[in-house]
């Protein structure tokens, strides 16, 4: 068993219950399930700051995945943004331009949960609807080991940035993650 901070990482092959079904289905379909580790956590500390403090994980090694809703004329669609927890997604700049949208905003929690089929606080870029753009900051794509959501609050996944960059709909962008103010 491998460790990262205080996390005990187990292969997702051995413990598929450590991720939402959409996550394990996607990982199996792209042949990447062997590249994913899972770790059970206290679901009350699933949010990034509390999680990092409790489990001794550097926030620069943690990815936040936010769901955005884009609008142009009468059309609305969703996309995901994956950035290091030490940054925030440039939603009103780079994301809006990349999606060619008139307006982009964070999807309301209820919509994000419904559209992803994942639990709030566990949303991850792995296992999203295949037609969605998955925008990934270049710093995320370059990282060797990252902690991401698992689609459920009771666990986290450990993956490489290279794996995330190969997800369906993935687009790696320089400058997606900008410093927090």
- 2-172 classified as CATH 3.90.960.10: yes
Residues 15-66: tens digit of each pLDDT: 999 999 999 888 877 766 777 899 999 999 999 999 999 999 999 999 999 9
Residues 55-114: tens digit of each pLDDT: 999 999 999 999 999 999 999 999 999 999 999 999 999 999 999 999 999 999 999 999
Q: In angstroms, what CA-CA distances link 67 with 20, 109, 116, 123, 158?
A: 17, 9, 9, 8, 20
Q: What is the mean pLDDT of residues 136-156?
A: 97
- Whether 163 contacts 32, CB under 8 Å: yes
Q: Under 8 Å CB-to-CB from 56, ≥6 apart: which residues? A: 5, 6
pLDDT at position 32 is: 65
List the domain boundaries for the chain.
2-172
CA–chain centroid gap for 139, Å, is 14
pTM (global) more than 0.85: yes
Task: Please state, in angstroms and rounded to a whole number, the distance separating the CA atoms of residues 78 and 71.
Answer: 9
- Whether 17 contacts 24, CB under 8 Å: no
């Amino acid at each position: 068993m491998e460790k990262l901070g205080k996390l005990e990482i187990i292969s997702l092959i051995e413990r598929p219950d450590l991720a939402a079904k959409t996550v394990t289905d996607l990982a199996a379909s792209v042949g990447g399930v062997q590249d994913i580790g899972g770790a059970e956590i206290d679901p009350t500390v699933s949010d990034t700051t509390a999680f990092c403090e409790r489990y001794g994980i550097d926030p620069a090694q943690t990815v936040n995945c936010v769901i955005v809703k884009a609008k142009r004329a009468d059309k609305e669609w969703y996309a995901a943004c994956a950035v290091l927890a030490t940054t925030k997604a440039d939603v009103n700049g780079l994301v809006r331009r990349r999606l060619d949208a008139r307006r982009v905003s964070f999807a309301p929690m209820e919509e994000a949960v419904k559209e992803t089929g994942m639990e709030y606080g566990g949303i991850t870029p792995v296992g999203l609807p295949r037609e969605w753009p998955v925008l990934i900051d270049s710093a995320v794509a370059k990282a060797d080991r990252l902690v991401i959501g698992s689609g459920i609050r009771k666990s986290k996944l450990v993956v490489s940035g290279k794996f995330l960059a190969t997800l369906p709909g993935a687009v790696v962008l320089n400058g997606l993650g900008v410093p927090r103010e």
